[in-house]
Amino acid sequence: MNPSPEALPTSNEDECALVKGLVESIVQTRTAIAALQAFETTMLAAAVSLADEQAARRPAESAASDMPLRSIAAEIATALRISDRSVQRQLSDAHALAGRFPATLAALGDGRISRAHVAAITEAGGSIEDDDARAEYEAQVIGRALSETPGRLRPIARMLAERARSRCVDERHAEARSRRRVVVTDLDDGMAELFSVLPAALAHGIHDRLTSMALAIRQSTAESDAAAPADPRSIDELRADVVCDLALSGTPAGHGEGLDAIAATVQITVPVLTLLGSGNAPATLAGQGPIDLDTAKRLTAGAPGWDRVLTHPITGAVLAVDRYRPTEELRRFLRVRDEHCRFPGCRTAARRSDIDHTHDAALGGATREDNLAHLCRRHHVLKHASTWTVKQVGGGVLEWTSPTHRRYVDSPAPTLRFVPGDPPPF
């Protein structure tokens, strides 16, 4: 039963005026933010145009024709302390928005629509190839965006885009299918997100099959032992566990561990005090972060070999590396020290990166730990094919200099870890 109007709390005129002022200020702030986002998009698009001009001046046979764009992306990324891969995607998106959706960019700059509206418009209309058809689509969808939320705008934009497209559905679906992929993104607390882009029919079919398996596992568990406590896992948890079992062992047991099916190359970092029994620093999965002790033990048990890393109790610096089955000591030392690509902001694991001579070996650079560092292939090529430079300044610390003479220092990750909270007992 709804309360009578007399029973509802009322706001006095001062409170109403305050709320009105707050709303107006928030709207003005969002309008200003949208204008700045549009301006940033224009600057990013200009950077792409500059890179295109630089690329046009390179020799026609140059293999690294995209190097100017990658170099500019790295320049922007290091200044902002973000990934240059992310910046390159932003550059591409900005170039497409400014070049293919100018009316949408103008509406953003005027504060008439938000960045979320822009995403809905460009995602739906990105495959409209004809310029005139795309301009007509823009005019129609912007008119709807002025009165709709981004969530409501998306199906409207898809409908309008469908009318404007010149290619048939089969052609578009074939192109979209070529972009299917699986991506891993690390999360907090030892978790990660496994993200897959698949044809819709397959994705929904997989989800339905996982749900059926999860329900079957729950039912079989209950039927096998009526006196046993019920499985505490939710359907979402069971689906996730079935995915792990199927992908790692091929058997949908629903246990979800899957760790026994991983033949791991394990790197165990041991602070000196822990080794002596006077500390409790956590186990660490190289390049990712702390993991629980049980997971570490199970991975180690199934590994063909493992590295033991001895670290200083105060600084956390790597003191020594040994191996149960010793091989290529220098490579292992570098892998332990670096953990990942040593270009600022890059997290590509060392095992997927190249070992680069900081001072080129062809020019007399020594093959020693103080002249070697891991670089992923992207940044290895960037170092040699652009005017980015790097030098080692001791202790595995790299100093990078960008084409505009900005300097960035990249320090080995282990020197920042495993520092105990309490002073050492000596």
Confidence at residue 361, expressed as pLDDT on a 0 to 100 scale: 74
16 by Cβ neighbours in 10 Å (0-12 / 13-18 / 19+) ranks as exposed
Which residues form the domain of 202? Answer: 185-261
Whether residues 272 and 361 fall in one domain? yes
**Residue among 164, 112, 105, 168 nearest 140 (CA):** 164
Query: Is the Cβ–Cβ distance between 351 and 265 less than 8 Å?
Result: yes
Q: Which amino acid is at 363?
A: L
Clarify whether residues 336 and 304 are in a common domain: yes
* Domain match, 294 and 251 both: no
Share the mean pLDDT of the chain: 80
Residue 236 lies in a domain: yes
5 in a domain, yes or no? no
Please check whether residue 31 lies inside any domain of the structure: yes
Q: Within this chain, do residues 156 and 189 fall inside the same structural domain, yes or no?
A: no
CA 311, 312, 315, 321 dihedral sign is: negative
Asked if 158 and 232 sit in the same domain, the reply is no
Q: Let me know whether 161 and 217 are in one domain.
A: no
Inside any domain, residue 404: yes
Cα separation, 150 vs 165, whole angstroms: 21
Q: Are the beta carbons of 343 and 74 closer than 8 angstroms? A: yes
> Which residues of the chain are under the pLDDT cut of 70?
1-11, 60-63, 166-170, 172, 221-228, 250-328, 362, 414-426
Q: Considering the domain boundaries, does residue 387 fall inside one? A: yes
Alpha-carbon span 254 to 216, nearest angstrom:
10
- The pLDDT score that the predictor gives to residue 273 is 43
| Phi/psi of residue 101, nearest 5 degrees | -130, 60
Q: What is the pLDDT of residue 360?
A: 83
Q: How far, CA to CA in Å, does 244 sit from each of 26, 218, 236, 258, 389? A: 45, 17, 13, 6, 43
pLDDT for the residue 175: 80
Q: Domain for residue 103, yes or no?
A: yes
**Residue where a domain stops, chosen among 261, 290, 313:** 261
Max distance between CA atoms of the chain, in angstroms, equals 88
Together in a domain, 214 and 117: no
pLDDT at 229: 73
Amino acid code (one letter) for 420: P
Q: Would you give the DSSP letter of residue 354? A: E
Strands 265-271 and 305-311: what pairing? parallel
Tell me: do 98 and 31 sit in the same domain. Answer: yes
424 located within any domain: no
Q: What is the pLDDT of residue 132?
A: 92
pLDDT reported for residue 213: 80
- pLDDT for position 424: 46
Residue 48 lies in a domain: yes
Are residues 18 and 49 both part of a single domain? Answer: yes
Cα 113 to chain centroid, rounded: 27
DSSP 8-state assignment for residue 260: G
* Dist CA 295 CA 293 (whole Å): 5
Q: Are residues 146 and 234 in the same domain?
A: no
Long-range contacts (CB closer than 8 Å, 24 or more residues apart) made by 26-30: 30/111, 30/114
Domain boundary residue, one of 137, 171, 205: 171
Q: Which two tokens stand for residue 182?
A: 């699986």
Asked whether the beta carbons of 159 and 165 are under 8 A apart, the reply is no
Same domain, 257 and 269: no
Q: Is the domain of 276 the same as that of 167?
A: no
Last residue of a domain, one of 171, 199, 228: 171
Count of the separate structural domains present in the chain: 3
